[in-house]
Amino acid sequence: MNMDSKGNKFGLFRFLKSFGYAAEGIKSVWSSEQNFRIHSCVGLVVFIAAYLLSVSAMEWIVLVILVFAVLALETMNTAIEKAVDLSQSGYHPLAKAAKDLASGAVLLFAVGTAIVGGIIFIPKLLELILTR
């Protein structure tokens, strides 16, 4: 059975519409999820600090990938939470486990990202402080 009710048509219009759906998803996660807004603001601070501290091109690449990966993972966490809520009207231990696991994945990645940020920024900040 075909799961795609829209058929198998390909085309520019359908491709462009997919960007609209993606934009709706981003607007939805921004408006409904405090953690997404927090991660977005932290990402902006990271990008400002990277600019001010003149990080290398490779460091920029790493930072951009990590910031957007955290945002993408937070969005997937929200999708999982909403799918679980849709499929389970009341409390169920497996529903709780699924939501906790998805949230834990975001936390693990965010901690790893913060560690990488420290590896990039701490030496630059120390150099800035010690050369004054």
Q: Which domain holds residue 66?
A: 34-130
Structural domain includes residue 120: yes
pLDDT averaged over every residue in the chain: 93
In a domain, 11, yes or no: no
Q: Is residue 13 part of a domain?
A: no
Residue 9 pLDDT greater than 80, yes or no: no
Question: How many domains does one find in the chain?
Answer: 1
* CATH number, domain containing residue 78: 1.10.287.3610
**So what's the pLDDT on residue 89?**
86
Residues marked as catalytic: 74
Classify residue 44 by burial, with Cβ atoms within 10 Å: 0-12, 13-18, 19+.
Answer: exposed
Report whether pLDDT(5) > 90.
no
- Distances in whole angstroms, Cα of residue 84 to Cα of each of 78, 98, 117: 10, 8, 33
Torsion of CA 101, 105, 108, 112, to 10 degrees: 170
Instruction: Convert the pLDDT of each residue in 55-77 to its tens digit.
Output: 999 999 999 999 999 999 999 99
What's the predicted TM-score (pTM) here? Answer: 0.87
What are the tens digits of pLDDT across the range 23-56?
999 999 999 999 999 999 999 999 999 999 999 9
